[in-house]
Each structure stands twice: as C-alpha cells, then as structure tokens.
Chain A
Amino acid sequence: MGARSFIAFLAVLAVVGLLAFGLLSKGNVKIAVGDPVPDKVLPALPGPGHGSISEHRGHWVLVNLWASWCIPCGEEAPVLERFFRRHRTRGVTVVGIDVQDNHDDAVAFLRDHPTTYPQLRSVGNERSAAFGSIGVPENFLVNPRGRLALIWRRPVDDRILRERVAPLIEGGK
C-alpha cells in the first residue's frame, strides 16, 4: 500500500469513526426485561449526598423517572409514596430519578409532592438515554439481583401497581 493510499485510508477511517461516534452517542440505548438495570451514582435530591440503585441490591426496587414540569409525575408521586409505605417492610423500595430538569424546580416539586423514598437527580438526558426513555414518567421494576423485571413506560396508578408490579414481587420473579 502506497503512502497516498494509506493517508486516504486513514482519512476515510476517521470520517467513519466520527459518524459512528455521532450515531452511538445520540441514540438511546435499548433495554429489555432481564437486562441489568442501568445504574450510576447520582446526587441526592434535595441533597447533600449521593445515591444509586445498586445500593438497594437484595431488595426489589421500583425506579421512577420523573421531571417537575411533567403533570402526570405530580399525580403519580403520592401513588408511589403509598406503595413505598405499604411495601417497605417487605424489602421493597422506590427510587425516584429526576431527569431533564433544573435543581430548583425539582426541589420545589418535592416540596409540593413530599416523598420519603430516596430521590436522585440526573443532569440533562443522560439517565433518560441510559434507560432508553421516551418521556416521563417511566417506571422500571428491578429484582433483588439488579435485573429489570418490568418496564412500564407510562405513569403508574394503584391498579397498575396492584395488578402488574405486586404480583412480580410476590412471585419473586
């Protein structure tokens, strides 16, 4: 291979590499039931401190992605709080993750919709992308081994929690 061909090859490789990087960094990840839950240490809300989903390994965790500007998220918060209070003695917890939001609005949201379960905050859409999120709210049930047992890309209500979430927990699946 001549020097000129080698340079051309390198140039093509660089362009293809950049295109691939662009595609991979823009595209949302696809997750499925049975996959390990996407996890990362995040700042706690309202702070200080940090937290992660893996802190609760060995327990069932209902991960709730929310944002302060999302109206259904406000309706869902008390439902999740009730669920948490009812099930926490049975090794079940809820972890809220605020996404696509600013800190002040998120704190105000938690003042208006008080919750006692752990709340974390993700900057921008980083966690939304990790969960392959298409909006808020979205809910993910994680089994005690840290794997996804249910992906619910909609708000939950008492009926959904009773009919879709609770049986998985009780069945230990």
Chain B
Amino acid sequence: MRRRATLAAALVLGLLVPTVAAGVTPQTTVTAIEGEVMCPICGTLLELSDSPQAQREKVYVARLVAAGETTAEIKDELVAQYGPAVLALPRASGFDLTAYLVPVLAILVAVLILAFSVTRWRRDGQRPVSGGTATAAPHGADAERLEADLSRYDL
C-alpha cells in the first residue's frame, strides 16, 4: 500500500513538477505509453505490471512524458535503455518487419493454393471420362456374381 502511494506520488510529481517548471506541454500520456510498452522482466504490458522493475520504468516514462517527448521519442529512449523487448509490438523495420510480412504472405500463399486447387477440382469434375472401364457394366461371370449378390440383399 505504502509502495503504491509512493509510486503514485512519484508519478504525479514526475508529471507535474517538470511540466510546470519548464512550461513543457506533454505530447502524450503515461497511460497511453504504458499500454504500448512492456515490463521486460515480467513479460506483460507495463500497465499490468507492478513489479519493482515496472515501478521504476513507470517513473522513467512519467519523466519522459513530463519532458514533452513524443510517443516515438519515448519508445526510442525505452529501447535504448531496456532493449527492443520493451516494445509490445515489434517495429516495422529490419528483421522485425517479418512479424508483419510473414502472416500476410502466408495468407496470400494460402489463398493462391486454395484458388488453384478449387480451379483444378472443378476442371477435373467437368471433364468427361473417356474410355474408362470404371463405369463399364460387368460382363459374363462378373455380371452373374453381381446379380446373385444383389438378389441376396434384395429387400
């Protein structure tokens, strides 16, 4: 309880004091940032974490917000301090871009495969069977055996 009160006080101070003192207009809010970054140790969103590391990170975010930094600048600063794992969503650049590209490519490939397969099935279904023996009527002994079997199960 005391720790929460201290944290809340630190957040309020972090938000208000430098802003008032320097006349800086915040470009974003602590709440907005906390919903977009992680507590790297906990592996959860910062807004859901209350670990000691998360509390320090929240104070740090509050300080950056109070200094008038934009969301992008704050995220850059957090990555510089805590590493890329601090971002809730991977960046759309470099190798991380694959996180966005791979699902889109996978869906495209799946749609193409499906379209190709459906076209092929339909074409095969419409093609007349020529010279096949599969549908030819049985002859001779086969025909007699078939008749006998059918009459045995005749209801």
Contact across chains for A69 and B40 when beta carbons are under 8 A apart: no
Query: How many Cβ-Cβ contacts under 8 Å join chain A to chain B?
Result: 44
A92-112 interface with B by 8 A CB criterion: 100-105
Interface residues on B, range: 10 to 19
- Selected from B41, B60, B109, the residue in CB contact (under 8 A) with A11 is B109
Compute how far the CA of A123 lies from the CA of B60 in the bound complex, rounded to whole angstroms.
Answer: 15
Compute how far the CA of A68 lies from the CA of B81 in the bound complex, rounded to whole angstroms.
Answer: 13
Contact across chains for A103 and B81 when beta carbons are under 8 A apart: yes
B44-99 interface with A by 8 A CB criterion: 52-53, 55-57, 60, 80-86, 98
Interface residues on A, range: 10 to 19
Q: Which residues of B contact A11 (CB under 8 A)?
A: 109
Q: How far is the CB of A69 from chain B (nearest CB, A)?
A: 4
- Selected from B40, B56, B98, B102, the residue in CB contact (under 8 A) with A125 is B40
Q: Which residues of B contact A71 (CB under 8 A)?
A: 52
Q: How far is the CB of B85 from chain A (nearest CB, A)?
A: 6
Q: Which residues of B contact A104 (CB under 8 A)?
A: 60
Compute how far the CA of A163 lies from the CA of B86 in the bound complex, rounded to whole angstroms.
Answer: 39
A34 within 8 A of B: no
Where the two chains meet, the residues of B that have a C-beta atom closer than 8 Å to any C-beta of A are 40-41, 52-53, 55-57, 60, 80-86, 98, 102, 109
5 closest A-B pairs by beta carbon, nearest first, are A124-B83, A102-B81, A69-B52, A69-B56, A69-B53
